[in-house]
Amino acid sequence: REHAMGSIMNGFAYHGLWKVSGSTFLVFVDYFRATVRVAALSELNAVSYILTHDSIGVGEDGPTHQPVETVSGLRVIPNLDVYRPADAEETVAAMVHSVTRKDGPTALIFSRQNIVQNSAMDYMERRTGAMKGAYVAKKENGPLELIIMATGSEVPHALEAAADMPGARVVSMPCMEVFDRQSDDYRESVLPSSCTKRIAMEAGVSGLWYKYASKVVGVDRFGFSAPGDIVMKELGMTADNLKAQIASMS
């Protein structure tokens, strides 16, 4: 049924009159990957995929329903923008991007669990930053010594870990593809090349993050069946583990 949904969405998009979206659990994107590829290849800008239950946080449904490789699998499809927002304001930006983009489809990746909002930062700054793919979610309070990158439900862990680190900057990166299309000056302002001590965190496979970070806290294995918070803790998706990993960096 996901393959049929994706095909129908492409048909609407080819017709050109409406913006169209379709929704399912993220892990089921494998059932309609071929239609996603066609939409990206054909630059069907009227298509948005709303994909929920985005990580091992799904919990008791077990490893069959806990996507660990799926977000990265979408990110490597050319011309598909993949947004994994960290809070309500980033979600607004992602939705706006999905209906205003002119040259291809957008995948919107949403978490099942509750996520702490970054209320310390102005809401318009979060929206504007997310529209550029990545932005500084917490600026360092002294000389820049460390950059912590995260996306989706892991951004609150990054903010918590950095709270007592004056030299740490937190970068929220909801969309790699959009960030990579920004100007050199903007990308340098977010990830200055002078700071080489960088760590990234995401509840998924780690490989793609190494183009930005020297160390990655990820999930390079399948999950297991337990309440979502337990799975997250056991597989290292906590602020405490992130701080421990930072402490181990030279």
DSSP for 53-90 reads: --SGGG-TT-GGG--SSHHHHHHTSTT-EEE--SSHHH
Q: Which 8-state DSSP code applies to residue 32?
A: G
| Helices marked H in the chain | 2-15, 33-41, 70-75, 88-100, 123-131, 155-162, 176-180, 184-190, 228-234, 239-247
Residue 85 token pair: 């927002």
**Residue 2 known to be catalytic:** yes
- Are the C-beta atoms of residues 2 and 32 closer than 8 Å to each other? yes
- N-terminal to C-terminal alpha carbon distance within the chain: 50
Q: 31-65 burial, b if ≥16 CB within 10 A, otherwise e?
A: ebbebbebbbeeebbbbbbbbebbbbbbbeeebeb
**Which residues are annotated as catalytic?**
2
